[in-house]
Amino acid sequence: MKRMAATLASRLLGRRLPAELYIISYPKSGRTWLRALVGKALSLELGLPGERILDTPFMTAAAGLHVADFTHDGSAMLDRARYQDLPRNKKPYRGKKVVLLARGVKDTLVSAYFQATRRIEVFEGPISDFIRSDVFGVMKILTFYRIWHENRHVPRDFLFVRYEDMHRDAAAVLRKVLNFMGAGFVSRGHVLASVEYCSFENMRKAEEQNRFKTNIMSPKRPGDPESYKVRKGRVGGYIEYLSREDIEYIDRALEEHGCEFTW
């Protein structure tokens, strides 16, 4: 299997194949972590290039799986779409497999704020304004996940994954995702090794050293810890950044507009 994967990998260099499986998330919901976990597991099991673990289409194609890719599905902050304008038609995913990755709304908003202000520089102003923005705030997150909740039966197969579950038991979540992708052949040892490799501390070092040679994993301002892609990786860290009024505002929005995929 390793020899076959290596041969496929050499043939695929420089090619881009259409995806049959999508891992979808709102920005700053943990997709780089999940991407690294999946890529490292395939790399260890099949001897694929370790420096390519963040290139999910390449790694899955070389592994002989349905080609998988990650997408924000129209919610990327660089697109600057208002929540009212998020795409509601999910017909392009008909016949595909979809993993939807979600994270607690408050933590997502805080992480997105630092991404928007310190890394991609698409927003200026305090976090209170950010969470109330039609383009970046709580209503955009809630609308994004509500649309997917209503359309979860459109894809051929659908799997919902929580960022917080990755924190509690990353190996179990990785195994679930690998099985969904058709990669149940990855050994338990390689799953555990991938979790260890993709620990917060190691991924932070990888970013500092630009180990993967990509802008996906490089600090925008090396002297500013809030500008890192791998920033804090905590659950519940929002309490350090949001005022009581901000938290109450988000909670009201959750109560009025939330769904099974939001908390």
Residue ranges of domains in the chain: 2-257
Q: Does domain 2-257 have CATH number 3.40.50.300?
A: yes
Q: Which residues contact 161 (CB under 8 A, 6 or more apart)?
A: 34, 99, 100, 101, 102, 173, 176, 177
Q: What angle do CA 139, 74, 239 make, to 5 degrees?
A: 40
pLDDT computed for residue 216 by the predictor: 58
Residue 178 CA to residue 41 CA, distance in Å, equals: 9
238-258: b (≥16 Cβ within 10 Å) or e = beebbeeebeebbeebbeebb
pLDDT classification of 220: cutoffs 50, 70, 90 = low
**Residues 168-203: tens digit of each pLDDT:** 999 999 999 999 999 999 999 999 999 999 988 787
Q: Is 86 left (phi over 0), alpha (psi -120 to 50) or beta?
A: beta
pLDDT computed for residue 213 by the predictor: 53
